[in-house]
Amino acid sequence: MLKETELRELGRELLRMRKEMRMTLEEVAEELGTDFRVISRYENGKAEIGALMYRKLVRLYEQRTKQNDLLQQVKNLSPTQRAALEALISSMKAG
């Protein structure tokens, strides 16, 4: 069992990660199949998070980080590169 100070510290880190991903409590809860109040209690250090839920949260935030990185790379493409990517995606959908 974690000490109260450790719970608060972990909660602050979970909150920081969620905010960094620009996700709401509701979005995180929906992704994980739980209630937003549960996520809030973890972030506020009011409830101890189990290992399974912690792994789910970390996995979710890692996936979001990768998605955000990919979106940023797409935004940085030149118009020619973007057109080529769109053509490739269209051909994959059609095929």
Residue 43 has a pLDDT of 96
Q: What is the pLDDT of residues 50-59, one digit of tens each?
A: 999 999 999 9
For the beta carbon of residue 79, count every other beta carbon within 10 angstroms.
Answer: 7
CB 11 within 8 A of CB 43: yes
Q: What is the pLDDT of residues 14-38, one digit of tens each?
A: 999 999 999 999 999 999 999 999 9
Distance CA 12, CA 18 (A): 10
Q: 3-class SS at 70?
A: helix
Q: What is the pTM of this model?
A: 0.73
Mean pLDDT across the chain, nearest whole number?
A: 93
Residue 1 has a pLDDT of 80
CB 46 within 8 A of CB 37: no
Integer-rounded Cα radius of gyration of the chain: 18
